[in-house]
Structure 1
């Protein structure tokens, strides 16, 4: 089937390819070797930021909601209308008619994710703000694919708007 010369050529080709691979790997490791840099020659000392990130936690969301702009909340709420309705009917997400003060995962007939079913309590302004900031962090494993509202003012405006729609 194969003569000796063909078998020798195939073996030499495989060995040559292996050699090129090993040499290429060696050159790449020598060229891009990260661990061999040694000690840093000049270090810039930076004072630790005291209270970094705590400002957001100390914000009184209830006070912000009381002062919020309902019209701006209606504008921001347009992002939510792709999945949520205010008329009492469910869409991709549960209806948000009367959501402020309602128990979490309590809309009858809607299939909530396990992450929200495990949460207890009501949709207080604080809970809504935490959820709207980043749903996947507040309720890890939620099926809500919304990235969140970074600005606390936007969250307060949306919550004020949801309160104004009643239920």
Structure 2
């Protein structure tokens, strides 16, 4: 390869880079991507700064309609970590958990978030915990996101009640 061919090769690469630079500058002059100006806005009705009010759930009424058979199906999500045979897995066993004292399974190493809670796992406590474990007990080691449907939470509690 002689010097003339090397010069042609270098000129071709530099010319290509120059073409890409010019195209980029042209595109940026046409399309402004760094502006704070909104090109298209959607009108949204003002709420007047009111806080979103959470719905009060009548847990007794929800529990009255609970179905343990459906709860068994929903419990499969829990079965990855919890067992109902009296042995602990990743999480403590859940035999007799309804009305049992919180964080009371002997030999299981609970997180500080659960040991700091007082009381028993009654239907209301379980309902709140199953909805959002990390929101109910911030700092809990339980990685489960929670059960979003109210009927699913009630069904699981009914299923757990049927497994003393």
- Distance in 1 separating the partners of 2:81 and 2:42: 51
**Long gaps (5+) in structure 2:** 1-20
- Distance in 1 separating the partners of 2:121 and 2:35: 50
**Long gaps (5+) in structure 1:** 1-19
Q: Report the equivalent of 1:31.
A: 32
Listed one character per residue, the Cα deviations across residues 48-98 of structure 1 (whole Å, up to 9, x for unaligned) are 39784522xx11122211221110001101111111111211111001001
Q: Report the equivalent of 1:61.
A: 59
Which residues of 2 match residues 76-87 of structure 1 at below 5 A?
Answer: 76-87=74-85
Equivalent pairs, count:
138
Check conservation: 1:135, 1:146, Cα contact below 8 A. Answer: yes
Q: Report the equivalent of 1:7.
A: none
Q: CA deviation at 1:105?
A: 0.5
Which residues of 2 match residues 3-152 of structure 1 at below 5 A?
Answer: 31-35=32-36, 37=37, 44=43, 46=45, 48=47, 52-55=52-55, 58-152=56-150
Q: CA deviation at 1:150?
A: 0.3
Q: 1:31 to 1:89 in 2, by over 3 A?
A: same
> Tell me, what secondary structure is at the counterpart of 1:81?
coil
Deviates more, 1:134-143 or 1:58-67: 58-67
Q: CA deviation at 1:156?
A: 0.4
- Distance in 1 separating the partners of 2:44 and 2:80: 48
Q: 1:146 to 1:46 in 2, by over 3 A?
A: same
- Distance in 2 separating the partners of 1:133 and 1:145: 13
- Distance in 2 separating the partners of 1:144 and 1:162: 18
> Tell me, what secondary structure is at the counterpart of 1:54?
coil
Q: CA RMSD in A?
A: 2.8
Higher helix residue share: 1
Check conservation: 1:116, 1:139, Cα contact below 8 A. Answer: yes
Q: CA deviation at 1:41?
A: 9.3
